[in-house]
Amino acid sequence: MKQPDLSPTTRHIIIDPDNIDPDLIREAADVIRRGGLVAFPTETVYGLGANALDAKAVAKIFEAKKRPLDDPLIVHINDKASLDILVRDISPVETALAARFWPGALTLVLNKKDIIPDIVTTGLDSAAIRMPSGKIALALIKAAGVPIAAPSANLFGKTSPTTAAHVKEDLDGRIDLIIDGGSTDIGVESTVISVVDGEVRILRPGGVSVEEIREIVPRVKVYTEEEIIKCSPGKYKQHYAPRAAVVIVANDRAQTDKCLALAKEAAKRSKVGIMSKAEHAVFYKPFNTRVMGPGDDLAKCATGLFRVLREFDSDGTEIIFAEAVEERGLGLAIMNRLRKAAG
Ligand code: TXA
Ligand code: MG
């Protein structure tokens, strides 16, 4: 008789970032050293990690995520000494940026050395490097004793996970271990930059804001999505797509009126959801409304963004009306992800 499919499960361990259990970290580090895959929290989103110096292990990341092989990974380090092993010709501007923002949500695209296998960088001469500030991430890299290549721990095309439950939704049974360290602090991915002739080019807005970078380097160029498609490999395929259609409602005085009118009309045919700022939720009472955060607290909104998109996916929402936020600070990263979700 045919047995019912038993759902595969990945071992799930809980680690308190403020009281890290060394035995559990050692267990996770052993998985990395043996060439396995570990999902772990960083301060931005959960990453899916493998030994960055082991091409076979890194290949498993692409397989588990169903990620195309032309979308390069970020290499995570836990101290600046590791930089010299991985990359060459670091410029004074890059050094200053690392000094100011590491550990933290900034990823620097640097000239790679041969020690980084081609699969990590998809054959590019450059490698994206980040020293995260998440305590579990730092402890894991340290215990593993190798740099950890890690994209966000979601299936390709899905929103990045901000909880271990999100990771499980996408990757259960496809990876070796999930470290559950609670919700991530920032909620959007790191800012990816490259420095060319002393100018900072923002390839992906993220957890470190353009305003903060401008305090260190005056010449900052924020690339439009079209420009990034031309110069950044893999980018064109990134869509952060929820199952529902996403419609962005402009951030102006008529925002709530417009959102209500659109939702009323759409509700005649489809299951509607509204992603609202906290202060507007009261207007949307009759609709399935989820709050991203207060409009004047963009850091809060960032932590709510991917969670809310995933919640709408789980409840079968077909069309999401998303309130745009102000494009300053973390608002730039939020609107970048929302536009990608809207396609
Ligand atoms: O916050 C984050 O950055 C998270 C956590 C886990 O660290 N990671 C993350 O990785 O978001 P991922 O793979 O989802 O996004 C990395 C992006 C790539 O899609 C690519 O666009 C860019 O970084 N990237 C990586 N290497 C690059 C390179 N050599 N040149 C240009 N862009 C690169
Ligand atoms: Mg990703």
Best residue among 65, 73, 108 to mutate for probing ligand 1's pocket (most ligand atoms within 8 Å of CB) is: 73
Rounded CA-CA distance 141/122 in Å is 22
Question: Residue whose CA is closest, atom 22 of ligand 1?
Answer: 72
**Collapsing DSSP states into helix, strand and coil, what is residue 153?**
coil
Going from the Cα of 152 to the center of ligand 2, the distance in angstroms, rounded, reads 4
- Cβ atoms within 10 Å of 124's Cβ, excluding its own: 17
Instruction: Give 318-327 pLDDT, tens digit per residue.
Output: 999 999 999 9
Q: Which residues contact 292 (CB under 8 A, 6 or more apart)?
A: 275, 276, 277, 278, 300, 301, 304, 305, 308, 323, 325
| Residue 6 clears pLDDT 70, i.e. is over it | no
What residue's CA is closest to ligand 1, atom 31? 232
Task: Identify the residues whose C-beta falls under 6 Å from ligand 1.
Answer: 42, 44-45, 47, 71-74, 107, 109, 121, 124, 126-128, 130, 132, 150-152, 189-190, 192, 203, 232, 234-235, 238
DSSP-assigned states of every residue in 216-245: T-S-EEEPPHHHHHHHSTTGGG-----SSE
**CA 60/CA 111 separation, integer angstroms:** 24
pLDDT, tens only, 331-341: 999 999 999 99
> Model pTM?
0.94
Q: For the chain, where are the alpha helices, taking DSSP H only?
A: 22-33, 55-65, 81-86, 92-101, 118-121, 135-144, 164-171, 210-214, 225-231, 255-267, 298-314, 331-342
82-108 residues labelled b (16+ CB within 10 A) or e (exposed): bbeebbeebeebbeebbeebbbbbbbb
Q: 3-class SS at 39?
A: strand
Ligand number with the minimum distance to the CA of 233: 1
- For the segment 208-257, what is each residue's pLDDT rounded down to a tens digit? 999 999 999 999 999 887 787 776 665 554 567 788 999 999 999 999 99
Ligand nearest to the CA of 52: 1
- Ligand 1, residues 74, 78, 118, 155: which to mutate, most atoms within 8 A of Cβ? 74
Ligand 2 centre distance from Cα of residue 189 (Å):
8
Tokens 């990816």 appear where?
A: 192
Which pLDDT score is estimated for 243? 87
Q: How far is the CA of 208 from the centre of ligand 2 (A)?
A: 17
Each residue of 59-96: pLDDT tens digit?
Answer: 999 999 999 999 999 999 999 999 999 999 999 999 99
**Strand-strand pairing, 11-14 and 177-180:** parallel
* Interval 173-213: pLDDT, tens: 999 999 999 999 999 999 999 999 999 999 999 999 999 99
CA dist., res. 145 & res. 300, Å (int): 34
